[in-house]
């Protein structure tokens, strides 16, 4: 009970401080204060906030200072840099306390633009679920050297860009599986925005490595080839047939399937909701549930209206293979997250819980240990 009250206290204080900070900035600007005066007042306010925070319970303070304590998780957080063949890849790894990693599932979390590993861990609260359900979480991090806004190059599959990033993620997962004994048949991949774009690239290029994927606010696959065309896809979706784009990417190769959950805010002004509809079609194609004429006859689908969102399921043998969740009123943010962290919103269902619930019902029976570089698409 004490722990729960501390959580509530800390969460309430973060939201109150965020509201107060915004209100203070607006008030000073409306009062016509010059920039030096505003800065002096702001520094004094920040000093007062730090003093107040020092008087807070240790657990509440910890939840604000780093990803190890993100969402009051109690496990082990470590930082590292993986030397993949294509590039160095920084990452954060979270493991629940007091549990053996041998045979443990692993969730790979790919952040969006203008995000860091730390912010993504704290905003999604995925570590808290890891404690509860017993899985590891790895957060690869895009460096500012690779992209000034820390965006993954999901639209550019060349080895010097997104292709190399995808290879580095696969190499990191393999290294962690060897070191910690994670269950290769239960490695899952989730991404937000640009991270979802890279996750979809990995789903197409290295399907044997992942048991299921989750795409939150992600762009449709296969048409963007540059930063400019990527923005166009984000705003309008792909112009060509989404299924035809998948067929071109795969060629004549047999695809082993990829269970997927897609989550999208209906009020997203950065990635238009049509992208989620197109991604769902592409994933149905990857799982053999759709063809050039659309969803195949006999595929079982049902739509459920839940509080704040709609859930469309496409089933095979009673198991959801593709799930599309449309969240009412949600902008470009992780649903049900910590809204004191940019690109996360407390509105809507808990996306992390929805994602793990979907992941938990899937396992990759035949794990392909090779990276399929023949599926690389040259962006030139």
Least confident segment among 36-50, 243-257, 307-321: 36-50
Q: Report the pLDDT value the prediction gives residue 32, as an integer from 0 to 100.
A: 55
Phi, psi of 180 (to 5 degrees): -105, -10
Residue 24 has pLDDT above 60, yes or no: no
Q: What are the residues whose beta carbons fall under 8 Å from the beta carbon of 8, sequence distance 6 or more?
A: none
CB 338 within 8 A of CB 346: yes
The mean predicted confidence, pLDDT, of the chain is 84
Q: Report the pLDDT value the prediction gives residue 40, as an integer from 0 to 100.
A: 55
Mean pLDDT calculated for residue range 153-177? 95
Q: Which residue has the higher pLDDT, 49 or 368?
A: 368
Q: Which two tokens stand for residue 258?
A: 């990829």
Cα dist. 108→24, 103, 117, 123, 136 in Å? 38, 16, 11, 15, 9
Q: Which residue has the higher pLDDT, 243 or 292?
A: 243
260-265 and 319-327: which strand pairing? parallel
Q: Report the pLDDT value the prediction gives residue 43, as an integer from 0 to 100.
A: 53
Burial profile 226-251: b = 16 or more Cβ within 10 angstroms, e = fewer: eeeebebbbeebbeeebbebbeebee
Tens-digit pLDDT profile for residues 52-80? 444 443 333 333 334 434 445 789 999 99
Q: Report the pLDDT value the prediction gives residue 294, as an integer from 0 to 100.
A: 79
* Angstrom distance (rounded) from CA 86 to CA 160: 8
CB 212 within 8 A of CB 260: yes
Q: Report the pLDDT value the prediction gives residue 8, as an integer from 0 to 100.
A: 44
136-140 and 88-95: which strand pairing? antiparallel
Tens-digit pLDDT profile for residues 104-127? 999 999 999 999 999 999 999 999
């Amino acid at each position: 009970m004490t722990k729960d009250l501390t959580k509530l206290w800390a969460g309430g204080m973060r939201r109150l401080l965020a509201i107060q900070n915004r209100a203070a900035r607006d008030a000073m600007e409306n009062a016509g204060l010059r920039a030096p005066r505003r800065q002096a007042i702001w520094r004094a306010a920040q000093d007062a906030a730090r003093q107040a925070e020092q008087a807070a319970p240790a657990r509440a303070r910890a939840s604000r200072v780093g990803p190890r304590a993100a969402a009051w998780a109690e496990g082990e957080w470590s930082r590292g840099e993986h030397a993949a063949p294509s590039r160095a890849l920084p990452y954060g790894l979270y493991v629940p306390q007091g549990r053996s990693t041998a045979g443990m599932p692993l969730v790979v979390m790919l952040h969006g633009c203008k995000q860091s590993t730390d912010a993504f861990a704290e905003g999604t609260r995925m570590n808290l679920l890891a404690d509860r359900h017993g899985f590891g979480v790895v957060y690869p991090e895009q460096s500012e050297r690779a992209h000034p806004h820390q965006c993954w190059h999901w639209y550019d599959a060349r080895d010097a860009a997104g292709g190399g990033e995808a290879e580095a993620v696969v190499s990191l997962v393999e290294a962690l599986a060897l070191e910690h004994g994670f269950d290769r048949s239960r490695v899952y991949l989730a991404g937000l925005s640009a991270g979802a774009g890279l996750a979809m690239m990995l789903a197409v290029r290295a399907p044997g490595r992942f048991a299921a994927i989750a795409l939150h606010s992600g762009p449709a696959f296969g048409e963007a080839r540059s930063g400019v065309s990527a923005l166009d896809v984000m705003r309008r979706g792909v112009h060509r047939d989404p299924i035809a784009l998948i067929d071109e990417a795969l060629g004549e190769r047999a695809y082993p399937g990829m269970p997927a959950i897609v989550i999208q805010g209906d009020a997203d002004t950065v990635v238009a909701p049509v992208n989620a509809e197109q991604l769902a079609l592409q994933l149905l194609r990857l799982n053999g549930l759709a063809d050039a004429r659309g969803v195949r006859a006999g595929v079982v689908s049902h739509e459920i209206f839940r509080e704040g969102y709609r859930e469309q399921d496409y089933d095979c043998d009673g198991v959801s293979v593709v799930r599309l969740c449309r969240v009412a009123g949600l902008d470009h943010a992780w649903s049900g997250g910590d809204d004191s962290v940019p690109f996360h919103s407390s509105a809507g269902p808990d996306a992390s819980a929805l994602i793990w619930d979907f992941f938990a019902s899937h396992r990759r029976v035949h794990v392909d240990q090779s990276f399929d570089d023949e599926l690389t698409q040259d962006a030139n």
